[in-house]
């Protein structure tokens, strides 16, 4: 199975900050890497698919990059509604494993 | 509006069975792969299984093989998860999710609100 790691596991940031979350795969997943946002008590929401494609309706302050084993999710200017947990997921090979998540909290 | 609505969760004893359902609307169900994803209390997301548009292919995470079975009824626009021989570690919120078509490459683009399964004596 492909193992996914994320860093940091949590971070504190202020509204307006630029935030970067890193995801690493234990082997290459090409660009088959997705990012989801999950607010407390809510279902996950797709933000980015195939590493860098922005899901319809998602604000442009979210962006993704990377390929192979190393990927990044960037929020260019953090907004109050962005305080949530973020998960990466590889869909290169079954099982489609998720990273452990990064919790973004208010500073 | 695209909607996925799960049901069937509840409290069950270890070794027991449960059947989850996911009713869908607002899209052509038979054109999409579908998935189940779960989240144990206070933990991260775990992909459980997914099924091809016509039900001819099914894939599972190793920890549920032989115990959980994914199925679908395209005439009823519904997805199911039959859960047998349940264990405490199956306790989780179970989400139904639509698998996006090209170019999503198996990303899950629509999610239900989840249904809670608790395995305890």
**Kind plus residue range of the DSSP H or E element containing A106:** strand A102-106
Q: Cα(A46)–Cα(B111) distance, rounded to whole angstroms? A: 9
Give pLDDT, residue B103: 87
**Which residue out of B106, B114, B115 would a mutagenesis test of the A interface target, given it has the greatest number of A Cβ atoms within 10 Å?**
B106
* Residue B21 confidence (pLDDT): 98
pLDDT for the residue numbered B102: 87
Percentage of chain A beyond pLDDT 70 is 100
B70, B79 contact by CB (below 8 A): yes
Structure tokens at B62: 């190793």
CB contact under 8 A, A46 and B109: yes
pLDDT tens per residue across span B81-121: 999 999 999 999 999 999 999 888 899 999 999 999 999 99
Determine the distance in angstroms separating the CA of A57 from the nearest CA of chain B, rounded to an integer: 11
Subunit contact A55:B105, Cβ cutoff 8 A: no
**Which residues does B103 contact at the CB level (< 8 Å), separation at least 6?**
A49, A50, A53
Contact A91 B105 (CB under 8 A): yes
**Alpha helices (H) along A40-106:** none
**Contacting residues of B for A96, CB less than 8 Å apart:** 47, 50, 106
């Amino acid at each position: 199975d492909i193992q996914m790691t994320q860093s940091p596991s949590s971070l504190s940031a202020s509204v307006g900050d630029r935030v970067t979350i890193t995801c690493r795969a234990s082997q290459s997943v090409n660009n088959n890497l997705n990012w989801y946002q999950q607010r407390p008590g809510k279902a996950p929401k797709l933000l980015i698919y195939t590493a860098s494609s922005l899901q319809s309706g998602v604000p442009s302050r979210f962006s993704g990059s990377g390929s192979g084993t190393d990927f990044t999710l960037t929020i260019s200017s953090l907004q109050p509604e962005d305080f949530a947990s973020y998960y990466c997921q590889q869909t290169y090979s079954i099982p489609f494993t998720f990273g452990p998540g990064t919790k973004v909290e208010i500073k | 509006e695209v909607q996925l609505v799960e049901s069937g969760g509840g409290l069950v004893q270890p070794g027991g069975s449960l059947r989850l359902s996911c009713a869908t609307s607002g899209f052509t169900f038979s054109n999409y792969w579908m998935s189940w994803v779960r989240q144990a209390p206070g933990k991260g997301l775990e992909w459980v299984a997914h099924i091809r548009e016509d039900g001819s292919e099914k894939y599972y995470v190793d920890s549920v093989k032989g115990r959980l079975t994914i199925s679908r009824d395209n005439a009823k626009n519904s997805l199911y998860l039959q859960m047998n021989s349940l264990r405490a570690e199956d306790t989780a919120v179970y989400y139904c999710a639509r698998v996006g078509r090209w170019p999503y490459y198996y990303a899950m683009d629509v999610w239900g609100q989840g249904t809670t399964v608790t395995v305890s004596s």
